[in-house]
Amino acid sequence: MVRMGTLPLRLLALRYGADIVYTEEIVDKKMVRTKRVVNDILGTIDFIDEFDGSVVFRTCNEESSYVVFQVGTSDPELVVKVAKIVEKDVAGFDVNMGCPKEFSIKGGMGAALLKQPDKVKDILTSLVSNIAIPVTCKIRLLPNIEETMDLARTIQSCGVAAIAVHGRTKEERPQHPNNNEAIKKIAHDLSIPVIANGGSKEIDSYEHVLRFRTATGASSVMIARAAQYNSSIFRKEGKLSLDEVIPEYLRLCIEYDNVFTNTKYCVQMMLRDLQETPMGKRLLDSKTEEEIYKIWGLLDYYKKKQEEFKNLSLKLQMTLPSMGHLEPAHKRAKTESTFFSRVCENDDVIKVMIPLRKPYQKHILPKTVLHEHASKAQHRKKINVLASRQQHWLVCTP
């Protein structure tokens, strides 16, 4: 899930019992300009945007046999390049054909693909024939079940290893009932494993997960929102309270130096109704990672790990002089999903999403970042700040 499915939450889900975890959808155009960097300080593999130094995708050994990289694409050639970049570090490669968001549809990605079986075939066959790991894809329902089954058969014929089906159409919202019957028909019709998705509204315990699998006749179940609220949903022994889940999650954030904005966002998502409690309010008001970790009594652990990273980075810089001119990797990684998590670009406009309450560090102000981006893209630098309901955009027009 976008912004949720970063490394700490994926590891948490695995530790609680998930068999497979997916990355958030990462768009091909963004991923293709990353460079694979072994981060010996954190024990991770980082895929770093060569343009701005941000970590686009971070993974590690613990998840390498279970993590599926999910891409957003509409381009059969570009997507193979992306798959080649990550295939040695992940267990599977998934194409998202379900995303109904405007940026996906406009880019011909996500649910826009559901109506383009030829494009789907091109994308999936070129992936299957060019990479060594399993290729999967995730779809939504088309308005008509026959059409959906045709598409599913087309997808199967491309040689994919499995297909995830979200039992809603592109127009349906999460509050609409999930069409378990349609998933059942598809599961019955195909010979490859079908992964049922869309059941979170009815999933509040591990038993409900099993019930959803039975209701859909699927081989397995993909859980999004229920795992976002309480990732211990994967525990066969039963869920844990958030008092246990959140500190467990935060420890992973500390160990993998997760970027503050992402950590805060994920914990806010977990707290949901509790956002109004004193603890929730403290979280909302927090402007640094120290403040978050303090709320859950993890400040000392955080400081100790930071010191350890600092020590290691000093040590490694001596042995790895190529890192010398850059900031230490653990600092560089801090830009993950801050400025450039939401860059939208076309020939005329560069939009950079800026978080509402980012504690802007040092001299790096959003406008500086955009100016740099604009000059590299040879744009004239006319910069406007646009605010929409939830987001602030910096927009650069030629």
Ligand X SMILES: Cc1cc2nc3c(=O)[nH]c(=O)nc-3n(C[C@H](O)[C@H](O)[C@H](O)COP(=O)(O)O)c2cc1C
Catalytic residues: 99
Of 130, 63, 133, 135, nearest to 97 by C-alpha is 135
**Dihedrals phi, psi of 63, to nearest 5 degrees:** -105, 0
Of the residues 100, 198, 328, 366, which one makes contact with ligand X according to CB under 6 A:
198
From ligand X, ligand NAG, none, which one binds at residue 207 (CB under 5 to 8 Å depending on kind)? none
Of 150, 218, 136, nearest to 179 by C-alpha is 218
If binding is defined by CB under 6 A, does position 234 make contact with ligand NAG?
Answer: no
Dihedral, 340, 3, 112, 145 alpha carbons, nearest 10: 180
| Helix (H/G/I), strand (E/B), else coil: 78 | helix
Helices 206-216, 180-189: inter-axial angle, 10-degree rounding:
60
Gyration radius of the chain over CA positions:
21
Q: Choose one: 46-54, 224-232, 249-257, 378-386; the region binding ligand X (CB under 6 A).
A: 224-232
Residue with smallest beta-carbon separation from ligand X = 200
179: Cβ contacts below 8 Å, ≥ 6 apart = 141, 167, 168, 198
Report the nearest approach of ligand NAG to the CB of residue 257 (Å).
14
Residue with smallest beta-carbon separation from ligand NAG = 230
Of the residues 39, 126, 178, 230, which one makes contact with ligand NAG according to CB under 6 A:
230
From ligand X, ligand NAG, none, which one binds at residue 258 (CB under 5 to 8 Å depending on kind)? none
Site for ligand NAG, residues 293 to 352, rule: CB under 6 A: 304, 307-308, 311
From ligand X, ligand NAG, none, which one binds at residue 224 (CB under 5 to 8 Å depending on kind)? ligand X
Q: Does residue 167 contact residue 216 with C-beta atoms inside 8 Å?
A: yes
Of the residues 74, 104, 197, 313, which one makes contact with ligand X according to CB under 6 A:
197
From ligand X, ligand NAG, none, which one binds at residue 239 (CB under 5 to 8 Å depending on kind)? ligand NAG
**Residue closer to ligand X, measured from CB, 198 or 366:** 198
Site for ligand X, residues 44 to 83, rule: CB under 6 A: 70
Helices 145-157, 117-130: inter-axial angle, 10-degree rounding:
30
Neighbours of 78 (CB within 10 A): 17
If binding is defined by CB under 6 A, does position 229 make contact with ligand NAG?
Answer: yes
Of the residues 8, 98, 100, 355, which one makes contact with ligand X according to CB under 6 A:
98
Report the nearest approach of ligand X to the CB of residue 98 (Å).
5
If binding is defined by CB under 6 A, does position 241 make contact with ligand NAG?
Answer: yes
HSE, side-chain direction, 13 A CA sphere, residue 304: 6
Q: Choose one: 51-59, 155-163, 220-228, 361-369; the region binding ligand X (CB under 6 A).
A: 220-228
**Residue closer to ligand NAG, measured from CB, 166 or 239:** 239
Of 79, 87, 63, 66, nearest to 26 by C-alpha is 79
Write each residue from 123 to 162 as x if it is in contact with ligand X (CB under 6 A), else as -, in one continuous string: ---------------x------------------------
290: Cβ contacts below 8 Å, ≥ 6 apart = 299, 302
Gap between the Cα atoms of 65 and 165, Å rounded: 22
From ligand NAG, ligand X, none, which one binds at residue 304 (CB under 5 to 8 Å depending on kind)? ligand NAG
Of 216, 136, 158, nearest to 184 by C-alpha is 216
From ligand X, ligand NAG, none, which one binds at residue 83 (CB under 5 to 8 Å depending on kind)? none
Burial class (CB in 10 A: 0-12, 13-18, 19+), 237: exposed
Binding residues for ligand X (CB under 6 A) = 1-2, 24-25, 70, 96, 98, 138, 166, 174, 197-200, 223-226
Binding residues for ligand NAG (CB under 6 A) = 229-230, 239, 241-242, 272, 304, 307-308, 311
